[in-house]
């Protein structure tokens, strides 16, 4: 059992409720080809948590046959000749935690070429559980034999931990907005991505290739491929100069950096940091704003991030959503402000979120 790669992965992907399974139990299952299963009314949707194959619903179109159970929070894997369909927004990773590049994404289903996967992989499900999966045998492309075991469990019911984090514990992050191609400031967009145009809601500089990708595949596509620039949802209106902004299913997104030294994320060990104080205040114009103060380690990291990115826009995220992206005019240290077109009620809610996030961290992180 390859425990160490799993630990490496988890050290990179901190999660508040995921816990290691002391004695993983291995299961073996044979998944029939999806087309063959449909013709023969056979069970073909593997539900990892339930350890069973589910039978597609008959009398509906192909999409409905396979999404009937996903709407009920069931079903994870479908096999179709040379492809694996991962349902409900799950992700396939190598044993080192690197995401595999999907062939396509449609809705909450992600398609992977089977020939491009190693014989042993990790499956991260939508409810933040982590499975170790081994491909054992393919029989005339009609059946796929696999073995799998739950390695890291999430004791919260499906969706509960995400709802809890999003509603009661605010996770603060910082990411730099990439500059247009050819800028003398790093980071910049790839040259083949850059252009200028106008979106319906405001004039912006944007990347046609990235926007086309967003419209066709959704915001999770670049993340699933492990791209350096990824989409993050905007919370409300945000006037961010020279940013790559796009829309998908009625929500607005912005393209941000994921690489160091252009991010400040919650980490572990020397990278663990936290806040010592969060309060409601006002910005320079007297509008409602959120004020926060770092602990010693957080102040060091924030100073290094802002000093290295003077002139760039710094996106401030709470629970993965961008609330503000001011231009850095000088290096900052132990304090920061989240500004925006906030009502006092919205500021109070953000303050409560971030204060709950403070309490969820180890005491050492806030020092």
Q: Where in the chain is the domain with CATH 3.30.1360.200?
A: 169-366
Position 235 scores a pLDDT of 85
- Note whether 121 and 94 are within 8 A (CB): yes
Average pLDDT (289-309) is 92
- For residues 108 and 128, the model is more confident at 128
Q: What Rg value do the Cα atoms of the chain yield, rounded?
A: 22
Tell me the sheet residues that pair with 339. none
Per-residue model confidence as pLDDT tens digits over 150-164: 988 865 443 333 333
User: How confident is residue 214, by pLDDT bands cut at 50, 70 and 90?
Assistant: confident
Contacts of residues 339-342 at CB distance under 8 Å and 24 or more positions apart, as own/partner, are 339/283, 339/287, 339/289, 340/236, 340/237, 340/238, 340/289, 341/236, 341/237, 341/287, 342/287, 342/288, 342/289, 342/290
Phi, psi (degrees; rounded to nearest 5) at 189: -70, 150
Question: Per residue, what are the HEC states of the chain?
Answer: CCHHHHHHHHHHCCCCCCEECCCCCCEEEEEECHHHHHHCCCCCEEECCCCEEECCCCCCCHHHHHHCCHHHCCCCEEEECCEEEECCCCEEECCCCCECCCCEEECCEEEEEHHHCCCEEEEECCCCCEEEEEEEEEECCCEEEEEEEEEEECCCCCCHHHHHHHHHCCCEEEEEECECCCCCCCCECCHHHCEEEEECCEEEEECHHHHHHHHHHCCHHHHHCCCCEEEEEECCCCCCCCCCEEEECCEEEEEEECCCCCEECCCCHHHCCCEEEEEEEECCCCCEEEEEEECHHHHHHHHHHHHHCCCCEEEEEECCEEEECCECCCCCCCEEEECCCCCHHHHHHHHHHHHHHHHHCCHHHHC
Average pLDDT (251-257) is 90
| pLDDT > 70 fraction of the chain, expressed in percent and rounded | 73
User: How confident is residue 221, by pLDDT bands cut at 50, 70 and 90?
Assistant: confident
In the β-sheet with 77-80, what is the strand arrangement from edge to edge? 52-54, 45-47, 77-80, 83-86, 109-113, 104-106
Sign, CA dihedral 234-237-243-246, equals positive
- Note whether 141 and 81 are within 8 A (CB): yes
Average pLDDT, the chain: 76
Nearest to 181 by CA among 173, 189, 192: 189
Position 164 scores a pLDDT of 36
Highest-confidence range of 72-81, 153-162, 244-253, 264-273, by mean pLDDT? 244-253
> Strand 321-324 vs strand 229-234: parallel, antiparallel, or unpaired?
parallel
Dist. CA 205–CA 229, nearest whole Å: 16
User: What is the residue whose two structure tokens read 């959704």?
Assistant: 218
pLDDT at 147 over 80: yes
Position 202 scores a pLDDT of 35
Position 45 scores a pLDDT of 87
Average pLDDT (234-258) is 81
Out of 166-170, 202-206, 324-328, pick the least confident: 202-206
- Residue 362, judged by CB atoms within 10 A of its CB (0-12, 13-18, 19+), counts as exposed
Position 279 scores a pLDDT of 94
- For residues 134 and 95, the model is more confident at 134
User: How confident is residue 292, by pLDDT bands cut at 50, 70 and 90?
Assistant: very high
CATH of domain 169-366: 3.30.1360.200
- Note whether 179 and 312 are within 8 A (CB): yes
Per-residue model confidence as pLDDT tens digits over 172-202: 899 999 987 777 888 888 776 644 433 333 3
- For residues 41 and 353, the model is more confident at 353
pTM of the model: 0.59
Average pLDDT (74-94) is 83
Position 288 scores a pLDDT of 92
User: How confident is residue 27, by pLDDT bands cut at 50, 70 and 90?
Assistant: very high
Average pLDDT (27-40) is 82
Dihedral in degrees, nearest 10, Cα atoms 119, 124, 130, 134: -10
pLDDT at 64 over 60: no
- For residues 365 and 289, the model is more confident at 289
Average pLDDT (12-33) is 75
């Amino acid at each position: 059992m390859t425990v160490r790669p799993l630990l490496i992965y988890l050290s990179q992907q901190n999660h508040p409720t995921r816990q290691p399974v002391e004695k993983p139990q291995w299961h073996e299952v044979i998944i029939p080809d999806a087309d063959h299963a449909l013709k023969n009314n056979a069970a073909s949707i593997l539900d990892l948590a339930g350890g069973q194959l589910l039978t597609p619903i008959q009398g509906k179109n192909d999409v409905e046959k396979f999404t009937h159970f996903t709407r009920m929070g069931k079903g994870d894997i479908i096999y179709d000749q040379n492809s694996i369909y991962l349902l409900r927004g799950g992700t396939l990773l190598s044993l080192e935690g690197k995401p595999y590049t999907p062939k396509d994404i449609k809705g909450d289903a992600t398609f992977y070429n089977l020939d491009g996967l190693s014989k042993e992989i990790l499956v991260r499900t939508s409810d933040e559980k982590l499975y170790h999966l081994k491909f054992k045998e393919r029989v005339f492309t009609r059946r796929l034999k696999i073995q799998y075991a739950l390695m890291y469990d999430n004791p919260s019911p499906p969706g509960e931990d995400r709802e809890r984090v999003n509603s009661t514990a605010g996770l603060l992050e910082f990411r730099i907005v990439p500059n247009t191609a050819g800028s003398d400031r790093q980071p910049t967009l790839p040259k083949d991505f850059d252009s200028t145009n106008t979106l319906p809601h405001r004039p912006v500089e944007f990347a046609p290739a990235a926007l086309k990708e967003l419209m066709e595949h959704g915001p999770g596509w670049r993340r699933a491929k492990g791209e350096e620039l990824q989409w993050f949802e905007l919370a409300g209106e945000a006037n961010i100069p020279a940013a790559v902004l796009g829309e998908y299913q009625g929500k607005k997104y912005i393209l941000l950096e994921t690489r160091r030294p252009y991010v400040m994320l919650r980490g572990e060990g020397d990278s663990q940091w936290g806040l010592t104080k969060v309060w409601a205040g006002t910005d320079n114009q007297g509008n409602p704003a959120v004020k926060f103060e770092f602990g010693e380690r957080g102040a060091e990291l924030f100073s290094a991030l802002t000093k290295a990115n003077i002139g760039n826009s710094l996106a401030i995220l709470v629970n993965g959503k961008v609330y503000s992206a001011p231009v850095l005019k000088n290096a900052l240290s132990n304090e920061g402000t989240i500004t925006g077109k906030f009502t006092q009620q919205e500021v109070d809610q953000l303050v409560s979120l971030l204060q709950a996030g403070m309490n969820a961290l180890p005491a050492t992180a806030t020092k």
